[in-house]
Amino acid sequence: MTGSLHISQRFLKPIVLIVFFVAVGIAAAAYWGYRRLSPLPELAVSSNTGLEMVVVERVHQSATRDGRTEWSLDAATGQYRLAEKKVLLTDLFVTFFTRDDQKVYLTARHGTVMTDSHDMEAHGNVVIYNDAYRLETEKMTYSHESRLIASDDPVKINGQAGDLTADSLTMDLKANRLVMRGHVRGTLVPNETP
């Protein structure tokens, strides 16, 4: 009787191993088949996913309209607040492109870009400059639709034509026009070209 028990255990062990591997194979095939046949969930981010905010380093973003780049932005960090549709930025550098292929640059310590409208706000040592002038203020806004840069904080402009200060300013990038309002003061340097 011990001989027949020994023979059945010897045959039973490989059969159990085969059954085990077949079961694992069937389970794996069922899992992968289910994954391939079932639709994948959308990768859209919602408030239920826990990804309401994403922080990234070395941000680069640009806005185009009718095939032309209207502005390009670089920043040290960006905090994407997806539910609010905005990006909070640090150490930003923006290049605005005008219709006559001129460039206007902006630097600031902090800024915000609305991801749906491309409107922008900058604050903290805001400097706007090009080849002809340098403008300084504490806070400014940019409306992407109208292409207007505006500041309701005091502004100071230094340039080739002289120095100016004012309580507020509006810069129209479409018309290439600057309007200063409130206590406008300054010194203008005469043009010395013959």
The pLDDT tens digits of the residues spanning 165-190 come to 888 898 888 887 888 888 888 887 77
CA dihedral 39→45→51→57, nearest 10 degrees, is 110
Q: Given this model, what pLDDT does residue 117 score?
A: 87
Concatenated DSSP letters of 125-176: EEEEE-SSEEEEEEEEEEETTTTEEEESS-EEEEETTEEEEESEEEEETTTT
Provide the 10 A C-beta neighbour count for residue 170: 14
Q: Given this model, what pLDDT does residue 140 score?
A: 93
Residue range 43-63: mean pLDDT, rounded: 63
Q: Given this model, what pLDDT does residue 180 score?
A: 83
Give the contacts of 140 (CB within 8 A, at least 6 positions apart): 106, 108, 121, 122, 123, 126, 128, 149, 150, 151, 153
Residue closest to 145 by CA, chosen among 109, 124, 114, 169: 114
Query: Higher confidence at residue 172 or residue 13?
Result: 172
Percent of the chain with pLDDT over 70: 71
Give bridge partners of residue 135 from the DSSP assignment: 128, 157
Q: Given this model, what pLDDT does residue 37 score?
A: 41
How far apart (Å, rounded) are the C-alpha atoms in residues 43 and 31?
21
The pLDDT tens digits of the residues spanning 63-87 come to 888 888 888 889 998 888 888 888 8
Residue range 13-31: mean pLDDT, rounded: 62
Q: Given this model, what pLDDT does residue 172 score?
A: 85
Average pLDDT, the chain: 77
Structure-block tokens of residue 1: 């009787």
Q: Phi then psi for 163, rounded to 5 degrees?
A: -120, 140
Domain ranges of the chain: 1-40, 53-188
Instruction: Write down the architecture of domain 53-188 according to CATH.
Output: Sandwich (2.60)
Residue 135 falls in which region: left (phi positive, over 0), alpha (psi -120 to 50) or beta: beta
How far apart (Å, rounded) are the C-alpha atoms in residues 17 and 26?
14
How far apart (Å, rounded) are the C-alpha atoms in residues 185 and 169?
13
